[in-house]
Amino acid sequence: MGTSPRLPSPMPVAPPALGWATGSGAERSWLSFSMEEDEFFGEKTFQHCCAEFIRHSQQIGDGWEWRTLKDSSEGYMCKTHFQIKPETLMSHSGASACVQTCLPIEEALELPLDDSEVTETTTGSQVIKYEYHVLYSCSYQVPVLYFRASFLDGRPLALKDIWERIHECYKTRLLQEPWDTITQQEHPILGQPFFVLHPCKTDEFMTPVLKNSQKINRSVNYITSWLSVVGPVVGLNLPLSYARAASEDE
Amino acid sequence: MTDDKDVLRDVWFGRIPTCFTLYQDEITEREAEPYYLLLPRVSYLTLVTDKVKKHFQKVMRQEDISEIWFEYEGTPLKWHYPIGLLFDLLASSSALPWNITVHFKSFPEKDLLHCPSKDAIEAHFMSCVKEADALKHKSQVINEMQKKDHKQLWMGLQNDRFDQFWAINRKLMEYPAEENGFRYIPFRIYQKIIKFLCSKGCEKEGALSMLKSYFIF
């Protein structure tokens, strides 16, 4: 078909700024813990915050773990959990819309059969497996939340199923900003389809949080703060003890 | 950039002659003839195969049709990869035309993203452009553009309009004279096992040695 193209003449470029971790990683306060002066939240800081986060998760049995990419220093944080949903969704007026409709397994098994809120007989419940992955985006220099959900037989949930399970309170906000919506994308490490909350606005809401914590001289774990904001939108809740642990670190 | 106009046109107008054949297990009312098409390298499969879809759906019943997907020698084709990339990665050593199999059943959920509409392709494309600009200009250029400029960029690609596309894209490919280059050069390397690495580039010599390190495996 084609002849091989002429390469464009090389353009002069800016002085080098290597983009991946090679440093010795000496411990410093997390704010300056990055390889480049202009990187506010570099990959090393990300990994450090995740390590602190996972440490607390292990203390309370919250199930988060770190996975490393083979032969590399890159990795991500992940958690799998199962939720039971009654076959029929509660459909009252808006008031009950924000009531938790998903129950962890242990609580669901104790649910009395004549629960007055259920308007039809529950013919069967569905167990849904949720996987949450926290990865670092070197383009945006922020963490990104990837997730997927499937039934126990492996059938994945479609975007509209995921959408239905999001709290009403979050739906309006998500619909307003097209680049804040949940889209299906390829997981950068696994190469499989996952749903993603777009990271381009993360900087916008995290900066005030961090600025304020500096002002009141209280340390925060970036990952803890960030996940407490984006997680609940997709059904991922963080116990409050994470906040206490974060302010105790360093 | 103007010196390279010829190269830009060659890249834009690159085509791959392709033969689409319906998967043998699809249920048809009559024999389905293969469909030939020249695919643009810079575009996306689901954006340019409406005619392919119509052609095969003519010989099928509505109830046997669900989301279309494409496969080459057993590998589901990721529509969100540019066509030229898919071809170079999977079929460049085979004789032309590129033989692609068309499916309307058993969508491979674990391998492929769904493509519910043209909007999904637009969202994906704009997301890539945005991410690249985050590296090149800290997102300043893309964010300062109006919605209609974003739309024009997309329509240029969708309708194969080189000038319409580059009227906007050239702004994304510029940098201030005093700066000597982009903040970072965005690029992706795809290996044969369909795994990619995304990284910030650096200055010319550094970029070359880094690329070399990626090829030593």
pLDDT tens readout for residues B64-121: 899 999 999 999 999 999 999 999 999 999 999 999 999 999 999 999 999 999 999 9
3-state secondary structure of B32: coil
Q: How far apart are CA A151 and CA B16, in angstroms?
A: 40
Chain B residues within 8 A of A188 when measuring between CB atoms: 196, 198
Mutate: best of A4, A9, A13, A161, partner B, most B CBs <10 A: A13
Residues in chain B: 217
The amino acid at residue B59 is: V
Selecting among A78, A102, A138, A200, the annotated active-site residue is A200
Report the half-sphere exposure of A121 (CA within 13 A, side-chain side).
1
- Residue B113 contacts A, CB cutoff 8 Å: yes
Comparing alpha-carbon positions, the chain A residue that sits nearest to B130 is A200
CA distance A17 to chain B (A): 6
Angle between helices B162-172 and B5-12 (to 10 degrees): 120
3-state secondary structure of A130: strand
Q: Do B114 and A159 touch (CB under 8 A)?
A: yes
> Between A98 and B9, where is the model more confident?
B9
Is A200 a catalytic site residue? yes
Whether B198 has a pLDDT exceeding 70, the answer reads no
Whether B215 has a pLDDT exceeding 90, the answer reads no
Pairing of strands B195-200, B186-191: antiparallel
Q: Which residues contact A65 (CB under 8 A, 6 or more apart)?
A: A54, A77, A78, A79
Asked if A17 contacts A5 with a C-beta cutoff of 8 angstroms, the reply is no
pTM of the model: 0.77
Q: How far apart are CA A189 and CA A150, in angstroms?
A: 19
Chain B residues within 8 A of A198 when measuring between CB atoms: 127
Q: Do B110 and A20 touch (CB under 8 A)?
A: no
Of B11, B111, B203, the CB nearest to A14: B203
- Residue B147 contacts A, CB cutoff 8 Å: no
Chain B residues within 8 A of A185 when measuring between CB atoms: 80, 113, 124, 127
Q: Do A2 and B14 touch (CB under 8 A)?
A: yes
Strand partners, A126: A85
CA distance A18 to chain B (A): 6
Comparing alpha-carbon positions, the chain B residue that sits nearest to A198 is B127
Q: How far apart are CA B23 and CA B33, in angstroms?
A: 11
Of A8, A17, A193, the CB nearest to B202: A17
What sign does the dihedral A191-B66-A82-A57 (CA atoms) show? positive
Q: Do A138 and B200 touch (CB under 8 A)?
A: yes
Tokens of A231: 């997680």
Chain B residues within 8 A of A1 when measuring between CB atoms: 14-17, 96
Of A13, A156, A179, the CB nearest to B181: A13
3-state secondary structure of A70: coil
CA distance B67 to chain A (A): 13
Q: How far is CA A22 from CA A73, A174, B183, in A?
A: 9, 38, 20
Tokens of B142: 């893309």
Give residue B143's pLDDT.
93
* Consecutive H or E run containing A104: strand A103-104
Q: Do B196 and A8 touch (CB under 8 A)?
A: no
Q: Do A15 and B111 touch (CB under 8 A)?
A: no
Chain A residues within 8 A of B206 when measuring between CB atoms: 16, 18
3-state secondary structure of B40: strand
Tens digit of pLDDT for each residue in B112-150? 999 999 999 999 999 999 999 999 999 999 999 999 999
Q: How far apart are CA B137 and CA B174, in angstroms?
A: 9
Q: Which residues contact B141 (CB under 8 A, 6 or more apart)?
A: B133, B171, B172, B174
- To the nearest whole number, what is the mean pLDDT of chain A? 72
Q: Which residues of chain A are modeled with pLDDT < 70?
A: 1-39, 86-125, 173-180, 249-250
Give residue A109's pLDDT.
47
Comparing alpha-carbon positions, the chain B residue that sits nearest to A155 is B109
Of A14, A188, A200, the CB nearest to B198: A188
Chain B residues within 8 A of A6 when measuring between CB atoms: 6-7
Mutate: best of A137, A148, A186, partner B, most B CBs <10 A: A186
